[in-house]
Amino acid sequence: MKKFFFIVVLMMLLPACAGNQNVAHPYDREDSNGTKLMTNREGNGIYNRELDDDRTNTNQNPNFIDLSESRPNYGTDENKLSEALIGEEGLTMGPVVRNGQDIRVTVYTSDDLSKKELRDREEELHNKMVRALPRYHIKINLEKR
């Protein structure tokens, strides 16, 4: 009786191990060294595709790192700060130092201004840059070049 029960169980479990061998998964192809692992049918790898429409895109969860090529970065923040200077004659952007949520921006002016005019100009630039990047604490340092 035990042999019969063992044979029946074995006959039920063995076909489950075979699976469907005729269905090819798009990521199953690889060469002998495994260098083509994770390629799609066109042959270009997962890292060469646009990830905005990809099913492996992690942008649905804010806790994961954004992998798309159009993700915002610190360079985007610097561009927003320099856009705040557009239309301001005689001002050029200097070094930008970022430390957590604090940003220190040095702006150079070619105008000869008094101390009061410098403070007023710094306050005006500070308001523009805070409107451009409200999530940072911005400190402006206006210097004569």
Q: Which domains does the chain have, with CATH numbers?
A: 23-71 (no CATH), 74-144 (3.30.70.1350)
The pLDDT tens digits along the chain (145 residues) read 888 888 888 777 766 666 555 555 555 555 555 555 444 555 554 555 555 555 555 556 666 666 666 777 788 888 899 998 888 888 999 999 999 899 999 999 988 888 899 999 999 999 999 999 999 999 999 998 8
Say how far apart CA 18 and CA 25 lie, in whole Å.
Answer: 16
Q: Three-class SS of residue 108?
A: strand
CA distances from 93 to 84, 103, 118, 140, 143 (A): 10, 13, 15, 11, 10
